Structure 1
């Protein structure tokens, strides 16, 4: 089991990062709530990880906070919730928002996530309400506010930002038409891709 990774952040392509550890590159998928907290490329980073081995793949998921990894592990124990859906949930909601939705049985907030129908949302509430009591407000993970990036006048820069945001939302389970709709609704000149992704996810809820 790979429980923690510490190394140099080489690439950031939401929702995936590449971290160099003593010359070996680890591809790690992250929920956007953790992705927003990453340092700049070239800097050192430490992630708490969860390793998944399947017949067709070996996948590594990373989190900036240990308790967020714990919540992810509780999520994927629920019937019908795999790592990809767990990643999607923790990208569209902070840990505290998800806990609040479960505790208050707010099925409508959960249904807003791609891949979660009403039955799945109701099952999540039933299965997780008692199990998640240990994740109190003191352990919640919030989405940090990021300063706006410098505006880029070049069309190619705008296209790159939108394409990065589109790729991230599709990877998180949104259909291309949905992703495009949310991006169009929130995009403003000068926004960086992470800002667009964050606001699009908020618009989707």
Structure 2
């Protein structure tokens, strides 16, 4: 089992980064490749080593909390590693944990790849297991109000229309501040196609956020 890798990111795409570890390049799929690509120094990526018949894959995370939540999500029937990765791309671990503990199906079904039945299975399978996450994580989640995650003016701004509001909420869940998102939108708004999708707009915004 590969628990983490440490090295310099030498290449990144929208779904993964390549980490140079002693002259070996590890391809690591991660919820937010741009987070690691921002650094010119060596980074530590906590990993989940996934082995199947036709592939051996590494999924990577910035924190132990993300790593633990990813592994918990894999225990839910119908959730594979790609869907679990998408969930963490759409919401912070503490927000996902809070939604599960609060049985907030409306929040869970906003996450990528999650329908009502899967959300119900997440609650049924995981609600009593969150205490097994890193110390203090479950307790923090139980006290988290989900409005706080997407509050603070993030979803309140109407500028950019519904598509930008949805993209902004997802980006806020990745940890970007309202000020950072405002700057990104200011740089992007005159170049965005009116028919752009939420996913495509998120990718453009992430590229802008990476540039700073």
Scaled by the length of structure 2, what TM-score is found?
Answer: 0.68
How far, CA to CA, are the matches of 2:38 and 2:75 in structure 1? 33
How far, CA to CA, are the matches of 2:131 and 2:57 in structure 1? 28
Aligned-residue CA RMSD (Å): 3.4
Of residues 175, 183, 186 in structure 2, which corresponds to 1:144?
A: 175
Higher relative contact order (CA 8 A, sep 6+): 1
Which runs of structure 2 are paired with 1:96-175 in the superposition (5 Å)? Answer: 96-134=94-132, 135-138=137-140, 143-145=174-176, 147=180, 148=183
Runs of 5+ consecutive residues of structure 1 not aligned to the other structure: 163-176, 197-205
3-state SS in 2 of match to 1:73: helix
Which runs of structure 2 are paired with 1:37-76 in the superposition (5 Å)? Answer: 37-38=35-36, 40=38, 42-76=40-74
Partner of 1:193: 207
- Displacement of 1:40 in angstroms is 2.7
* 2:6/2:21 contact within 8 Å kept: yes
Between Structure 1 and Structure 2, how many residues are aligned? 171
- Displacement of 1:186 in angstroms is 7.3
* 1:39/1:45 contact within 8 Å kept: no
Runs of 5+ consecutive residues of structure 2 not aligned to the other structure: 145-172
Deviations 1:20-66 (A, max 9, x none): 0111100000112xx45325354211111100111111110011111
* 1:37/1:144 contact within 8 Å kept: no
Partner of 2:8: 8
3-state SS in 1 of match to 2:118: helix
Deviations 1:85-108 (A, max 9, x none): 100100001111101110111112
